[in-house]
A and B are shown apart, each in its own frame.
Chain A
Amino acid sequence: MKKELTCIACPLGCTVTVTLKGKEIISVEGNTCPRGKEYAITECIAPVRTVTTTVKCTDGSLVAVKTARPIPKDKMMEAMRIINYTVATLPISVGDVIIEELFGSSVVATAEKQ
């Protein structure tokens, strides 16, 4: 079976064709770089995404956050629910950990807030 994917690793957006035999990956074609191959393989086995969103701060304002690593794609909505219940304590610097563990990643601040 052939599967066509759009690589999301960079703005190039290569069309990558993965040939599968059952669950086994036979070949990956169309990628321009090693990251494309890596993406295609992960996407076929267990797709992951980085979630970027905001979290509420103690003064009611918002600060931008992201998962430090990509998390399972099918956990995105659940991750959002947990992040939206979280309140971050000010002040916040870029890189501060807001949530220690969320589906295999931490959630870190991407902006600063006094």
Chain B
Amino acid sequence: MTDLVIIGGGPAGMSAAISAYENGVKDILILERDDSLGGILRQCIHNGFGLHKFKEELTGPEYAHRYAKRVRELGIPVKLNTMVLEITEDKRVIATNSHDGIFEIQAKAIILAMGCRERAKGALNIGGSRPAGVYTAGTAQKLVNMKGYMPGKEIVILGSGDIGLIMARRMTLEGAHVKAVCELMPYSSGLARNIQQCLKDFDIPLRLSHTVVALHGGDRLTGVTIARVDESRRPIKETYEYVSCDTLLLSCGLIPENELVSGIGADISPVTSGSIVDQDRHTSAEGVFSCGNVLHVHDLVDYVSEEGEIAGKGAASYIQGTDVRNTDIKISVDGKIRYSVPQRITEKKDVTLYFRVSGVYKNVRVNIYGDDKLLISRKKQRVAPSEMETVKINRDMLDNISELSLKLEVVQ
């Protein structure tokens, strides 16, 4: 019997472990499938992490190192190179590694912190042949930054999310020629500063409202056909353009890696592809918590750590039997606001809501209603899907209401 099993040793899992420990739960085990703690941060060697959390600009490995060091100092046990195969409703965790074989741990509580994976070629319906030389941006990042292999010399990137932008710069610095970054949407989903420092700094063209419609080549990619898309994101035939390249990198979205949840019947949000959780990141499966990119995809690791802290603390109260459920408030969104985390509140206390919008909107108000009463109204000059927003709900706003609704209203 182990009090708390944490699945995943990335930023979410490490932060959850530290938080649970500091809140009194000492019997913790972290299961990590890679050969070291840190998760995806290990290959994110660029800087820009930790401005919220540490008030300084760190690289991914440095950020991970601070947490891994703390986990070591606290003596929290970690099993590396360990893959979790299944979790059951009665909270048994079945895992495997080459040292222990297949083994089972009975947990009092489980925190899911498995992160996310990239949307790959198979999910994108790109026409043409199927040559080598098509990688997800994250795979290319691992090859370049961890293994020291260059995936190619002449690069086209599809998708202008932050990983795509970061890889455009990284490939350029290592001597490749990035010919274009194509973005299906009329705006980039990456941070403005990455457009500047990853593309503009190196004169890499960003082709908005463009997509890749076909791959060319036999054994190896020789080029791609790109095209402009119309308002309904359909390629316009007259704009087909051949671009020769030997490599296509895909940065087309991230999906929570949530397959383990199917074993425990926790409710999944169709919007986030992560679990539906309360203010403590408690899923609908008793004693199972979720945090980080497996819950919903974050843009800043600082928020992932924050969420790990919440889940770790929540799991600690659950294990100690001190968790309180004195209300059940549903949190709903209007569609312009795509989702919020948490999706429900079960304990009256101060709660920060994290939410994302569905499009780029200017001059808006984020209005939060308790049943029909306006509780909070926040003016925003600009909101975009790529940037997570937060709003704090005070405890006393939660009295005598059954629903909180988040609405984005355009200021006239």
Contact = CB atoms under 8 A, between A and B. Distances in A.
26 contacts: A5-B196, A6-B192, A6-B200, A7-B193, A8-B197, A11-B48, A11-B387, A49-B201, A51-B173, A52-B47, A52-B59, A53-B173, A54-B45, A62-B145, A62-B147, A64-B45, A66-B59, A77-B173, A80-B175, A110-B45, A110-B58, A110-B59, A110-B61, A110-B65, A111-B42, A111-B61
Given A62-B148, A94-B61, 10 more contacts: A6-B196, A50-B47, A54-B145, A56-B148, A62-B147, A64-B60, A64-B145, A80-B175, A110-B62, A111-B42
A53 B147 CA distance: 13
Interface string A93-114: 0100000000000000011100
Nearest to B61: A111
A53 B47 CA distance: 10
Given A11-B48, A11-B193, A66-B47, A112 B59 contact: no
B78 to A, nearest CB: 16
B205 to A, nearest CB: 17
Interface string B370-408: 000000000000000001000000000000000000000
B234 interface: no
A80 B48 CA distance: 19
Given A56-B148, A76-B173, A64 B48 contact: no
Interface in B165-209: 173-175, 191-193, 195-197, 200-201
B244 to A, nearest CB: 23
Interface string B33-48: 0000000001001111
Contacts of B42: 111
A56 B174 CA distance: 13
Contacts of B60: 64
B382 to A, nearest CB: 10
Nearest to B64: A111
B85 interface: no
B146 interface: yes
Nearest to B300: A11
Contact of A94 (B46, B65, B300, B387): B65
Contacts of A7: 193
Nearest to B172: A77
A52 B45 contact: yes
Contacts of A49: 197, 201
B156 to A, nearest CB: 21
A8 B145 contact: no
A42 B300 CA distance: 26
B45 A11 contact: no
Interface in A23-71: 49-54, 56, 61-62, 64, 66
B168 to A, nearest CB: 14
Interface residues of B, number: 32
B51 interface: yes
A73 interface: yes
Contacts of A53: 45, 173-174
A13 B65 CA distance: 26
Interface string B52-78: 000001111110010000000000000
A10 interface: yes
Nearest to A51: B173
The 8 closest A-B pairs by CB, nearest first: A13-B192, A111-B61, A8-B193, A64-B45, A6-B196, A13-B193, A110-B59, A110-B61
A66 B387 CA distance: 27
Nearest to A8: B193
A62 B45 CA distance: 11
A5 B387 CA distance: 20
A13 B191 contact: yes
B363 to A, nearest CB: 15
Contacts of A9: 193
Q: Name the residue in B173, B197, B387 with the highest tally of chain A Cβ atoms < 10 Å from its Cβ.
A: B173
A25 B404 CA distance: 49
A73 B147 CA distance: 27
Nearest to A50: B47
B262 to A, nearest CB: 34
Contact of A80 (B174, B197, B200): B174
B383 to A, nearest CB: 13
B197 to A, nearest CB: 5
B37 to A, nearest CB: 11
Contacts of A111: 42, 45, 61-62, 65
A80 B197 CA distance: 16
Contacts of B201: 49, 73
A64 B191 contact: no
B46 to A, nearest CB: 5
A56 B145 CA distance: 11
Contacts of A94: 61-62, 65
